[in-house]
Amino acid sequence: MSDKQSRILFNTHGRLGVVDLDSAAATAGAEDAAGPVDSVTRVWYPDPDAPGMDSWSWGPVFEDRRRVILSSYEPGKAWEGNVRVHLWIYDLEEDRLLEEIALKDRPAPFMGCTHILPGEDRLVTNPIIDGKQRIWTMDLDGSDPQEITGSEDGFVYCVQISPDGRRFAYHSTMLEGRDSYCIFVSDLDGGNRVEVAGAQGHLYFGPMWSPDGQWLIYQDCHYPDDPGHDWADLCLGSPDGPDGTRHQKITTGQRQWFATSYGSPDSRGSGSNIAQWTPDGKRVTYTRAEPGSRTAWPYQAQRPDTDHFNRDYYPEDARGGTAICLLDPFSGEESEFIPYEPMVWNFRSAWSRDGSQFAFCRAEVGSPGAIWLVDADGGNARMLTDGYENRGADHPVWLG
């Protein structure tokens, strides 16, 4: 990838997707993006050579910006934590798997990789052991494994490393004496653990570090009244713990679209929608729903969840939609960035590394989700892709 090229990675119904922007190496047959995008923009779908895998997802990226850790999943219900996950190093420039990693001293069949630690010789992984997801670190080959959280620390995920590379932030559930999710910060070895947020009746989720490492932004879902976890408020907290002023709710009305559900029965998608900081650390994204909004996929609380989705499709009952706003978490000032349009759901947030562009997802009621791109001022909006075979694209991540 040249210095003039930017790249966005995304997922598309179990497949991997790549958007090359400003690529001089676009090839015949590449998918043209809709809207006023340079014709050399290319969308392509890696197909790693590893027989027997049911689906793939992107993982952390090495500093050279060409090697990426991939997760591949054997057939089965991955959300139940019993499916074997394979970890690979993949070369984007050569479009091939280089090697399978983390094979030694493996603690569990289900084990993904969330981060590469500074120095690039150790991984942060998330094995599920005895029904609880943990944080483990290990060498690239799996040797020298270190357990960071144990069974007493609950079911831990959404792990984020602080900008200085010295601390973890994460949320945890299934904690003794607690009714829902709490936010914690600890050193990389698990020491000096601090509870940032936790309260009866509140589901605190998805901590994200500010660029200076001084603050965390996260969701607060009032789950007793919202069993599908559709909505939340945003909160600002200190990684050193709450003291009455350093853990505060910064939005009201449970209007952050949290548990996304969108698409048609053939292209449905979902996944937690988490606020992101702008690269300068002055604002955060706020996926604000219009009052009274309802997706086409209402949660079915009355029946057992057999597919980790548990929703039925009622497009005729859908109403409202979402805008993506930019919110100053310190002053409360907010402005609409991606404007609200009736029956259009905007979500996800991914800033380019220099802050000049912003990728997000958009889904009209009954249509597949698509990845869109705008400039930093909100102008020049254009669709990049709606995924493999037009079945939907989600979870954009900037590579360069």
How does pLDDT run across 361-390, given as a tens digit for each residue?
999 999 999 999 999 999 999 999 999 999
Matching residue, tokens 């009355």: 302
Token code pair at residue 157: 């995920």
Cα 261 to Cα 305, 314, 318: the distances in Å are 15, 12, 12
CB 159 within 8 A of CB 124: yes
Q: Which domains does the chain have, with CATH numbers?
A: 103-395 (2.120.10.30)
Q: Which of 181, 256, 261 is nearest to 223 (CA)?
A: 181
**Tens-place pLDDT, residues 285-310:** 999 999 999 999 999 999 988 888 99
Listed residue (114, 105, 53) closest to 83, CA to CA = 53
Single-letter amino acid, residue 245: T
pLDDT in tens, 85-108: 999 999 999 999 999 999 999 999
**Alpha-carbon span 279 to 294, nearest angstrom:** 31
Query: What is the torsional sign of CA 135, 137, 138, 139?
Result: positive
Tokens of 219: 């969701």
Kind plus residue range of the DSSP H or E element containing 348? strand 344-351
- CA gyration radius, the chain: 20
pLDDT at 37: 45
**Average pLDDT, integer, range 148-177:** 97
Give the residue carrying structure tokens 């996950």.
85
Question: Cα–Cα distance between 79 and 209 in angstroms, integer?
Answer: 26
Q: Round to whole Å and give the CA distance between 381 and 74.
A: 38
Give the pLDDT band of residue 244 (cuts 50, 70, 90): low
What letters, b where the CB count within 10 A reaches 16 and e where it falls short, cover 258-295?
bbbbbbbeebbbbbebbbbbbeebebbbbbbbeeebeb
**Residue whose entry in the numeric block shows the structure tokens 């912003």:** 358
Q: Are 383 and 361 in contact (CB under 8 A)?
A: no
CA 318 to chain centroid: 25
Q: What is the pTM of this model?
A: 0.93
Report the SS3 class of residue 390.
Answer: helix
Specify the amino acid at residue 108.
A
214, 232, 153, 271: CA torsion to nearest 10: -100
Strand pairing of 132-133 and 15-21?
unpaired
Say how far apart CA 124 and CA 288 lie, in whole Å.
Answer: 32
Residue 25 has pLDDT above 70, yes or no: no
170-221: per-residue pLDDT in tens? 999 999 999 999 999 999 999 999 999 999 999 999 999 999 999 999 999 9
CB 380 within 8 A of CB 374: yes
Q: Report yes or no: 191 and 213 within 8 Å, Cβ to Cβ.
A: no
Q: In which band, very low, low, confident or very high, does the pLDDT at 35 lie, cut at 50, 70 and 90?
A: very low
337-366 pLDDT, tens digit each = 999 999 999 999 999 999 999 999 999 999
Q: Is 45 helix (H, G, I), strand (E, B) or coil?
A: coil
Give CA 278 to chain center in angstroms: 16
CA distance linking residue 235 with residue 246, whole number of Å: 10
At residue 5, the pLDDT reads 62
